[in-house]
A and B are shown apart, each in its own frame.
Chain A
Amino acid sequence: MDYAQRLENVAVLGAAGKMGSGIVLLVAVEMADLGLKPENKGKKYVLHAVDVSHAALSGLMKYMREQARKTAEKRIVALRAVYADRPDLVENRDIIEQYVCDVLDVIRPVTVLEAACEANVIFEAVSEDVELKARLLTRVAADNPRRPWVFTNTSSVPIEEIDAKARLGGRIMGFHFYNPPAVQKLVELIRGRTTLPEVAEFAQALTKSLRKTVVPSSDTAGFIGNGHFMRDLLHAIAEAERLSREMPFVEAVYAVNRVSQDFLVRPMGIFQLADYVGLDVCQCILRVMDPRLPGQNLRSPLIDRLLGLGVRGGQNHDGSQKDGFLRYERGKPAGVYDPEGKRYVPISEFQATADAKLGPLPEPALAWKAAVRHPAREKVLADFFGKLETLRTPGAELARRYGARSREIGLGLVRDGVAAKAEDVNTVLLTGFFHAYGPINDYFSEKVAR
Chain B
Amino acid sequence: MRNAMPKLVLGRLSSSLLTLFLVSLVIFAITSLLPGDTAQQILGQFATPEQVAALREELGLNQSPLVRYWHWLTGFATGDLGMSASNGMPVAQLMNDRLPNSLLLAAITTAISVPIALTMGLVAAMRRGGNIDRALNVVTLSMVAVPEFLVATLAVLIFAVHLGWLPALSYVSTVESVGDFVRIYAMPVLTLCCVLIAQMARMTRAALIDQLDSAYIEMARLKGVPPVRRVLRHALPNAVGPIANAVALSLSYLLGGVIIVETIFNYPGIASLMVDAVSNRDLALVQACAMLFCGAYLILVMVADLCAILSNPRLRNR
To the question of whether A and B form a pair in one complex, the answer is no
Chain A contact residues, CB within 8 Å of chain B: none
